[in-house]
Structure 1
C-alpha cells in the first residue's frame, strides 16, 4: 500500500464513527510535509486546523504530535499491510468488549491497536509504549472484559488478540499478524 493510501486508511479509521471522510488533498498535504522547521507556520496551522475540524481525535494534539503519529502508524501499514486482512474482524472483537464509560476513546484505541498489529515486533512497541505494562493498562481500561480473558496476564497481547479472534471465529488455524518476524517468536510460541 502506498503512503497516501495508508494515511487515508489510518485517519479514516480513527474517524470511522463520524460523518465525513478525509479528502485525499489532506493526505497528500500531510505526506508532503517536511519537518516543522522547514514548513511555513501558516501551512502547519491550516493543516492541523483541517485535521481538528475533521475529528475530535485531533483536538488536543499539537501539529508535531499529530504528524508524528500519522507518519508512524501509516508506515506500519506501508511496510506490512498483510494483517489488515483481519482489520474488520479484530475491530469487531474489540468493540464487543468496549468500556461503556469511554466508548469513543476505546474505539480510537481499538483502531490504533489493530494498525499496530502490522508492526513486526511486540504490540506495545509498535503502538508506541515503552513497556508492556502500558498495554495491560490499556486493555484493562478500554477493553476490560477482554483483558480478563488473559488470565494472570500471561499471554503476549498481540498473540492474545489473535487467539481471541480465532476462538470467536472458530478458526482451526490462527493467523499471527507479523509475529513470525519478531525476535521473541520462540518465546511466545514454543509449546503453544
Structure 2
C-alpha cells in the first residue's frame, strides 16, 4: 500500500485492484492514453524512470476501478492521492486548478485532447458519490 506522510508520497506503487486488472484487456487503449498523459506530466526528479513508469501504469490501471481513484489505489484519502499526484505528476496538479476529482480530471484532459467537450470518467454512473463529484468544483471540496 502507498501512503503519504508529511506531504511526501512514498515511492512504493500499490498493487492494482483485481477488477482493474480484469478490465485491462478490453480497455487497453484507455489505459495507454491515461498512462501517456501521466508520463507527459511526470517529474523526472520524483524517482527513476522505471519507478515513474510503474506509478503511471498503476494509476492508469486504477482508473478502471469502480470506486474513487484514491480508493482503487488503496489509499486512505483523497488527500493522499493529491500528495501522490504532487510528487509524481506535478504538471497535472498545476492544471487541476479547481481541485476537480482526479479520475474525472484525467479523463477530461483526454477528452479535451480529442476536442470532445462532453466527457465523463468511467464508472461514474454506478457511483454513490456522483452528486458530490459532479457538483461545483470548489477548492477544498
State the TM-score, normalized to the length of structure 2. Answer: 0.74
Distance 1:174 1:81, change over 3 A: farther
Q: CA deviation at 1:176?
A: 1.4
Instruction: Tell me if 1:127 matches 2:73.
Output: yes
Show the counterpart of 2:118: 173
Q: CA RMSD of the aligned region, Å?
A: 2.7
Contact 2:111 / 2:117 at 8 angstroms: preserved in 1? yes
Distance 1:176 1:116, change over 3 A: same
Show the counterpart of 2:104: 159
Paired residue secondary structure (1:134): helix
Contact 1:95 / 1:107 at 8 angstroms: preserved in 2? yes
Q: Which has the greater radius of gyration?
A: 1
Query: In the TM superposition, what whole-angstrom CA distance separates every residue of 1:34-81 from its partner, at most 9, and x where no partner exists?
Result: xxxxxxxxxxxxxxxxxxxxxxxxxxx9xxxxxx93xx5333332686
Show the counterpart of 2:94: 148
Instruction: Tell me if 1:113 matches 2:95.
Output: no
Counterparts of residues 80-119 of structure 1 (less than 5 Å)? 83-101=27-45, 102=47, 103-119=49-65
Whole-angstrom distance in 1 between the partners of 2:39 and 2:90: 11
Contact 1:121 / 1:181 at 8 angstroms: preserved in 2? no
Distance 1:134 1:95, change over 3 A: same
Show the counterpart of 1:77: 21
Whole-angstrom distance in 2 between the partners of 1:116 and 1:140: 17
- Structure with the higher fraction of residues in helix conformation: 1
State the TM-score, normalized to the length of structure 1. Answer: 0.56
Whole-angstrom distance in 2 between the partners of 1:174 and 1:83: 17
Query: In the TM superposition, what whole-angstrom CA distance separates every residue of 1:84-124 from its partner, at most 9, and x where no partner exists?
Result: 44111111111111111123322111111111111111000
Contact 1:139 / 1:147 at 8 angstroms: preserved in 2? yes
Whole-angstrom distance in 2 between the partners of 1:174 and 1:75: 23
